[in-house]
Homo-oligomer: A and B are copies of this chain.
Amino acid sequence: MKKITIGEAARKSGVKVPTIRYYEGIGLLREPSRSEGNQRSYEPSDLSRLTFIRHARELGFEVEAIRALLSLQDNPLQSCATADAIAKARLIEVEQRIRSLMALKAELEMMVEGCGHGRVDQCRVIEVLADHAECRHHGH
């Protein structure tokens, strides 16, 4: 039960100090107890919650999704169907994003390949941007 400062919590969780305070402000993290000098003092359980949040953010979950996942974690006896649904929705988003980025990559590659490093009026980069009809990928 040894308490740690916000700076130490930041170092151990990988979440920056102002971000920790921000998470407290929006209610993702409980208000920690304070030292005599009014400084935040965290417990190990806060640390694992912060790590949970950081990991979920890295996976691209929005704060509201994380709020839902955390409330599930806080009530471990209920069904995990909600957690599953949140993760599945995120998976679909990621798959769509990958598809559109692949199309985009192809288009950018064409632009870059077509550029003969001459003058702008012969540049394929500018040309493709100016006239969408030049673009072979119409997925966007």
Contact = CB atoms under 8 A, between A and B. Distances in A.
A31 B14 CA distance: 46
SS class, residues of chain A in contact with chain B: helix
Contact of A91 (B72, B79, B109): B109
A112 B87 contact: yes
B107 A101 contact: no
A102 B98 contact: yes
Contacts of A122: 80
Q: How large is the interface on A (under 10, 10 to 19, 20 to 34, 35 or more residues)?
A: 35 or more
A123 to B, nearest CB: 4
A124 B129 CA distance: 45
10 contacts: A48-B130, A52-B130, A59-B107, A73-B120, A76-B120, A79-B120, A81-B117, A84-B112, A91-B109, A101-B101
